Every structure is written in C-alpha cells, then in structure tokens.
Amino acid sequence: MENRTLGKSGLEVSALGLGCMGLSYGYGPATEKQAAIALIRTAFERGVTFFDTAEAYGPYRNEELLGEALAPMRNEVVIATKFGFDFDAEGGQSGMNSRPEQIRKVADAALKRLKTDGIDLFYQHRVDPNVPIEDVAGTVKDLINEGKVRHFGLSEAGPQTIRKAHAVQPVAALQSEYSLWWREPEAEILPLLEELGIGFVPFSPLGKGFLTGAINADTTFDSKDFRNVVPRFAPEARKANQALVDLLGQIAARKGATSAQVALAWLLAQKPWIVPIPGTTKLHRLEENIGAAAVQLTTDDLGEIDGALAKVTIEGDRYPAHLQARVGR
C-alpha cells in the first residue's frame, strides 16, 4: 500500500488506516481478544501502518488491545489515541474534560496501556467548551517537548478552534466524519486544512457500515450497537437512503469493485492528504477495505458520482441531538 503524509506534519502513514473502536466498543459485544489481535496484525501484514484508538473505547480496553497486538512491530506503525472525557464507575462517559492536568494524566496512562514510550498522534476527542483550546494545545505542546507525544490532533473541531489551536501548536491532523453520505467538511473544513497544511482523517468513511450495502431497512442491530440511537439508521431513513447504496453498487459493478471499495476510493481521490480509517471486526471485510487502495477512479468517474449524488437526498441526522451538540465547535 502507498503511504501518505498528513499535511505538513511529516507524519507518514499508510493511505488507509484501521479504526479499532469497533473491536471493543460501539457496535455490539467486543471481539474475542485473540481474534482481534489477529485482525490487527493481519492489517499490518497487508500494509496498514496507521491504527486509531482512544481511551473512551471500552473505556481503556481498546488501547490495551492495541498495545498488545502491535508490540512486536511498534517501531513500524503509527498509533493515534485520544483524550477529552471523564468516565463514571460503570465506564460510561460522564462529561468532557480537557483540563491540562487531565490531558497529562491520560497521556501517562495511555503510554502504559499502549506499551510505548511515545504517542504518535494525540487527539482531543471533542472540543471542551470549558477549557480554552489554547490551553489544550499548549499542554500537548509541552508533552511533545517532553517526548511523550509526537503530533497533536483535533477531532470534530470547527474552523475557529482549529485556527486557534494551530497557532499555539501545529495540528498534524483533524479527524472528523466524512463520506459519500456526510459531505459537510467540504464547505469550510477541507479548504481550511489545505490552507494550514493539516491532514484529514475521515472516520466512518463507510457511513457506519451503510455504504457497504450490507444494511437495509430490515436489518436489526445488537442492543449495545449505538446505531440504534442514530436517526440516520431509523428503519424509514434506511429505506429512503437505499437509493445511495443502489447507485454506489451500480458504479462498483462497472469498476469491478465493491460498493465499500468505491466509497473509500472516492475519499482517497479527494485530496492526497486524506487518510480514511475504516473499521471492521471481520477479516474478509478488512481485505475488501484494503483493496480499495488499488481502485482508481477517473475524473469521469468522480464527475458521475457527484452528479448522481446531487439527485439523492439523504434522510436522517448523523447523530442524536445531544451528541451533535459536541461537534463543529
């Protein structure tokens, strides 16, 4: 797999990364440990060098899993993790917390869980309205100077926050949702990142699984699957949004690819500093996603996709209201 550099940071990673959240959290029961380790190591063997986790995934279990899985090849991979929340006794998020002392505490704990002496990319998971972003960036800058962190990232931050943070400590990457069915970053975010030389790491590049074509109006989710509360995954919204999947399937058939591969190839074709991080718990899906790096979309292909998308209206919000309030600050 080819490598890409995240903006002007010099941080070089595989063109596709692996989002590891779903192995421990969010999409139903956690994957059995040895199976999860095997999947992570298979990704590395297939050329993936960029792995994404967070203290919130579990919490803590996903970082521990990644630390164990990647220990043999630690110097050959880039690990990104995140700070920014408090947790209650049951492990649920109990509020945002990006105070400087908390950031330091999370960094030290993450280093132990990841079995490493340096976090390659340390993201603020969500912007904390109670802590000035300059204080957040300054704390991470200190951690970089101390050698505990190598690069600073933001997640789901708005333009003003990105500018303020970048002025204190250069932001290597912004991680936000971006896909064929969530294109909001194109309006303000992508031009800003290009101006400042910041890389972009789209999460949910396959629309939380919907763009693969494996989900329809009749699909039922595990009781622990967070898609149960996502308006865009309500049965009536899935039925309405099927038009996008059908369109994707037609284009994929002509390219000799799958819908998922076309969706990922479309993201890779947008900018050379975009690195999607699709997640999966299945080895065959991992292989399929990695295959997207070899799918070349021509200018005509991209034009056809854009033209067809303009005729499709996506139904349903991407988050319930209380979660949407955390993004784009």
* Residues 274-288 pLDDT 10s: 999 999 999 999 999
Which residue reads 């003003």 in tokens? 160
Judge whether 237 and 162 are in contact, CB under 8 Å.
Answer: no
57 among known catalytic residues: yes
Structure tokens that stand for 62 in this block: 């996903």
What stretches of 31-170 adopt beta strand conformation (E)?
50-52, 78-83, 85-87, 93-96, 121-124, 152-155
**Given the residues 57, 60, 123, 178, the one annotated as active site:** 57
Residue 122, beta-bridge partner list: 81, 152
Domains of the chain are 3-209+270-294 (3.20.20.100)
Residue type, 45: E
pLDDT at 328: 87
Distance CA(41)–CA(254), nearest Å, equals 32
Distance CA(315)–CA(312), nearest Å, equals 9
pLDDT digits (tens, 9 = 90+) for 219-277: 999 999 999 999 999 999 999 999 999 999 999 999 999 999 999 999 999 999 999 99
Torsion (CA) 156, 263, 274, 305 in degrees, nearest 10: -100
Torsion (CA) 313, 319, 320, 321 in degrees, nearest 10: -90
Verdict on whether the full-model pTM lies above 0.95: yes
